[in-house]
Amino acid sequence: MDATNREIIRILLADGRASFQAIGRQVNLSAPAVKRRVDQMVARGEIAGFTAVIDPSALGWNTEAYVELYYDGNVLKSELETNLSTIPQVVGVWSVTGDADALVHVMAGSMAELEDVIELIRSNAKMNRTRSAVVLSRLFQRPRL
């Protein structure tokens, strides 16, 4: 991971569809050389992929919340993942330090739908309680790493 690769990543974060030629102009390389570096970074997993950044409200996802999960006793990470990944509205799950066992990011179309999702999450037998923070507004977000 040298300085040139970091610069290529910086450019691709800002514009994921930048042409290899255009990137090459900025880092003083030919298009094939840029492509080779990008292919390597993808193969090594440093670049996980490319994606569009969508305005959630354009898809009708108007309600967003972060939910802390508190379990009774220990819960396996694999168990968490298995249970939660089946819920489409769950867009991210992290295990964390502190009081809570896990943090879940939920996107829903309405408050009612959010309520249903939280109820579904709570239905796990080992669940002790949940603690939700509904997003009022996204103040800012940098390009995802």
Partner DNA sequence: TCTGAAATCGACATCTA
Partner DNA sequence: TAGATGTCGATTTCAGA
Write out the residues near a second copy by the rule CB under 8 A: 1, 6, 9, 12-17, 41, 44-56, 58-59, 61, 64, 66, 68, 77, 80-81, 84-85, 90-98, 100, 102-103, 105, 107, 131-145
State the binding partner of 125 from a second copy, DNA, none, CB within 5 to 8 A by kind: none
d(C-alpha 64, C-alpha 56), whole Å? 9
d(C-alpha 87, C-alpha 125), whole Å? 17
CB of 122 to a second copy, least distance (A): 16
State the binding partner of 33 from DNA, a second copy, none, CB within 5 to 8 A by kind: DNA
Complex with a second copy: residue 22 or 59, whichever CB lies closer: 59
Which residues pair with residue 81 across a beta bridge?
none
d(C-alpha 9, C-alpha 107), whole Å? 28
Record the tokens describing residue 61, joined without a space. Answer: 């996802």
State the binding partner of 144 from a second copy, DNA, none, CB within 5 to 8 A by kind: a second copy
Record the tokens describing residue 142, joined without a space. Answer: 């940098």
d(C-alpha 129, C-alpha 8), whole Å? 44
Q: Binding to DNA (CB under 7 A): which residues in 22-61?
A: 22, 28-33, 35-37, 40
Helix (H, G, I), strand (E, B) or coil at 5: helix
Complex with DNA: residue 29 or 114, whichever CB lies closer: 29
Q: Give me the residue label for tokens 């939910």.
A: 67
Complex with DNA: residue 29 or 80, whichever CB lies closer: 29
CB of 61 to a second copy, least distance (A): 6
